[in-house]
Amino acid sequence: MSIRIALSKGRIFEETVPLLKAAGIVASEDPETSRKLIIPTNRGDVSVIIVRASDVPTYVQYGAADLGIAGKDVLLEHGGAGLYQPLDLGIAKCRMMVAVPERFDYEAAVRQGARLRVATKYLKTAREHFAAKGVHVDLIKLYGSMELAPLVGLADAIVDLVSSGNTLRANELKAVEEIMPISARLIVNQAALKLKRLQIQPVIDAFRAASLKESA
């Protein structure tokens, strides 16, 4: 039986390479330069598929991939149905934050009960966060360039992932509230884990050992 691992390009793939190597898996091509969406590995029974980060849980949920690596942000929006999440890999770390223009007094607006317009692609997470705070918001769904929304009057605030904060500062925005820390997790199709346990469990164990070693 063969297994398929769903990954996204960019930071998650780069930080997953050492974990794959620890499991004895090396992709034959770099997805940043290859046009292939299904990449073979040094193991004939393992292949890697390259998909959008937000689609990784869907591919794994429906069994098109047996395993995947996805950020907690993506998993919260997806809901996690049909997925076994055995490991927080501690990679691709960042924070889910509320950010506003530098001159905007967020605390005062919240205190006064103002209704805020918030731009984000993380509707579920943002809705739950502001509901828990008792803040009234109108959520505006965007897919990218969140920082632009307050600059052109589309929104009062944004909810987005923040790593260094450089992009916020470059656009005269400030982070005012942390919603939660984010990192990437290993996800496994529940049916595949039962049917292909002999192939999948060693990969999970190798990832666990490698991620513990990285964090030590």
Residue range 1-12: mean pLDDT, rounded: 94
Residue 212 has pLDDT above 90, yes or no: no
Residue 211 has pLDDT above 90, yes or no: no
For 94-182, which CATH superfamily applies?
Periplasmic binding protein-like II (3.40.190.10)
Q: What are phi and psi of 42, to 5 degrees?
A: -65, -10
Q: What is the DSSP string of 133-187?
A: HT--EEEEE-SS-TTHHHHTTS-SEEEEEESSSHHHHHTTEEEEEEEEEE-EEEE
CB 86 within 8 A of CB 204: yes
Please state, as a whole number, how many other Cβ atoms lie within 10 Å of the Cβ of residue 60.
28
Residue 52 has pLDDT above 90, yes or no: yes
Reported as a single tens digit per residue, the pLDDT across 58-115 is 999 999 999 999 999 999 999 988 899 999 999 999 999 999 999 999 999 999 999 9
What percentage of the chain reaches a pLDDT higher than 70? 99
- In terms of Cβ atoms closer than 10 Å to its own Cβ (0-12, 13-18, 19+), residue 80 is middle
3-92+183-215 with 94-182: one CATH topology? yes
Reported as a single tens digit per residue, the pLDDT across 117-162 is 999 999 999 999 999 999 999 999 999 999 999 999 999 999 999 9
Q: Report how far Cα 104 is from the mean position of its chain's Cα atoms.
A: 28
Residue 215 pLDDT class (50, 70, 90 cuts): low
CB 68 within 8 A of CB 27: no
Q: Report how far Cα 183 is from the mean position of its chain's Cα atoms.
A: 7
- How far is 91 from 83, CA to CA, in rounded Å? 19
The structure's pTM equals 0.90
Place of tokens 């398929």: 4
Phi/psi zone of residue 93: left (φ > 0), alpha (ψ -120 to 50 degrees), beta? beta
CB 197 within 8 A of CB 12: no
Q: What pLDDT is stored for residue 216 in this prediction?
A: 61
Beta bridge partners of 184: 71
Q: What is the end-to-end Cα distance of the chain in Å, rounded?
A: 34
Q: Which CATH number fits domain 3-92+183-215: 3.40.50.1400, 1.10.8.80, 3.40.1190.20, 3.40.190.10?
A: 3.40.190.10
- In terms of Cβ atoms closer than 10 Å to its own Cβ (0-12, 13-18, 19+), residue 187 is buried
Q: What are phi and psi of 84, to 5 degrees?
A: -100, 130
Residue ranges of domains in the chain: 3-92+183-215, 94-182
